[in-house]
Amino acid sequence: MLKEFKEFAVKGNVIDLAVGVVIGGAFGSIVTSLVKDIVMPPIALVLGKIDFSEQFLVLKEGKTPGPYVTIDAAHKAAAVTLNYGTFINTLLSFIIVAFSIFVVVKAINKLKREEAAAPVEPAPPTKQEELLTEIRDLLKAGKA
């Protein structure tokens, strides 16, 4: 059983999957930073210098009455909140990741199509084929 597990663990697909998961995690961090630090600040500026990730709606007051400045302050007061700003950040992250994956898959498919469309050179004739061609040509020349 240990031998079978070793064969399974060192197969190319398992290693490729592990590499993909690690790179995917790093890519997720990059996208999160892109949304939080690059995309959202201009949107917040247009909306009136608001930290968009801190946009929420209080559904039920907590032990301490509001207004609450941050989501954390609302949660510490045990208030029930609808965190739509965080949801929009997550949605933008998803769209960026999905678009990035789409671009990569499209590029890979294009490379595969180009590879498939490349003309394959025919194999050179064998000695037997060359000899048969010579015989055919001699027979044709003798009939003319």
Q: What is the CATH number of the domain that holds 31?
A: 1.10.1200
Residue 66 lies in a domain: no
Q: What digits encode the pLDDT tens for the residues 114-131?
A: 877 777 788 888 999 999
pTM of the predicted model, to two decimals? 0.57
pLDDT at 61 over 70: yes
Q: Structural domain tally of the chain?
A: 1
pLDDT at 27 over 70: yes
Both tokens assigned to 42:
């201009």
Residues 87/40, Cβ–Cβ less than 8 Å: no
**What's the rounded Cα separation, in Å, for the pair 111 and 122?**
22
Q: Which domain covers residue 110, as residue numbers?
A: 2-50+83-143
Look at residue 40 and give its three-state secondary structure.
Answer: helix
